[in-house]
Amino acid sequence: MFEDGQLYSPVSRGDDGEVQVHLAENHPGFADPDYRRRRNEIADAALRREPGGPVPTIDYTEEEHGIWRQVCAELGPQHARHASREYLAAKERLGLPTDRVPQLDEVTARLQPLTGFRYVSAPGLVELREFYGSLADAEFHSTQYLRHPSMPLYTPEPDIIHEVVGHANQLASPRFAALTRAAGTAVRRLETDEAVQLVADVFWFTLEFGVVREDGDLKAYGAGILSSYGELDEYARMEIRPLDLASMGTLNYDITSYQPVLFAADSLDQLEDVVGVFFTEVDDDRAAALHRSGLAAAGRV
């Protein structure tokens, strides 16, 4: 999803009330005490938010604003070359600032009149059913921290750049917003964890890593591609397959590297006809059947 992966750092609160974000030893900020203190502060703010309460305002530093500016400057030309028309139009309508990090409340103020979506803060990983269930209510859980300044074009975990540049711009499209809500509604009605995971995997290969053909060219609409400088350089050279729900729902993939297999829609109409209808109609039995079919086709049963 990013230059090398998508791993949320665990967050804990000790008996003394102190919040700690547990960065992996290979994280760019692991040996930086100032960055670690900052991550702890931002996670603490999210954890202190009462359910339904106001989203915390983060007083971003000039260094953090500088990271946002640099990434936006690098991604802008990449978007112009590689993003789908639908994403580009939505991005223009949303009009996010490129010179500073926006507050999540500002993102909501711009996004909600367009498609109804609002942003709420999260310290890190949100449990699968909670995250998708909230999408059904047009609520998107977003982190608020930024990547380490030593590597502005790389992040080992989803930061606010991914959550906002990738997803908020995408969610400013009524078509992508409807698909996103439909995925959340599907998860709300599913009972088995296997079915929920299958929907999440289809979401991964579409709303996160989807590509679409436009006038003979392959364009990206997935938030994971469009928030990653590296993925935008590489996606067109990957193995491109046609939409296949059973395969998308069962394909093994590594979240710590570039995605070697992508699924292309022939058009957004086809994406809605195949994936949108799937999200709208899937139940536990249909999910189980697709899961069996995908495993059989891959020779894994």
Active-site position among 64, 208, 231, 272: 208
Residue 118, helix vs strand vs coil:
strand
Known catalytic residue at 141: no
As a whole number of angstroms, the distance between CA 205 and CA 212 comes to 12
As a whole number of angstroms, the distance between CA 249 and CA 299 comes to 15
296's CB contacts (< 8 A; 6+ apart) are none
CA atoms within 13 A on the CB side of 301: 8
Query: The tokens of 278 are what?
Result: 């799937």
Known catalytic residue at 208: yes
Q: What is the CB neighbour count within 10 angstroms for residue 193?
A: 10
As a whole number of angstroms, the distance between CA 7 and CA 21 comes to 12
Known catalytic residue at 167: yes
As a whole number of angstroms, the distance between CA 203 and CA 48 comes to 30
70's CB contacts (< 8 A; 6+ apart) are 152, 153
Active-site position among 121, 142, 173, 227: 227
Active-site position among 9, 162, 163, 228: 162
Active-site position among 82, 148, 167, 291: 167
For residue 142, give the H/E element and its range.
strand 139-142
Known catalytic residue at 148: no
Q: Going by DSSP bridges, is the β-strand pair 139-142/118-121 parallel, antiparallel, or unpaired?
A: parallel
Query: Which residues are catalytic, by number?
Result: 162, 167, 208, 227
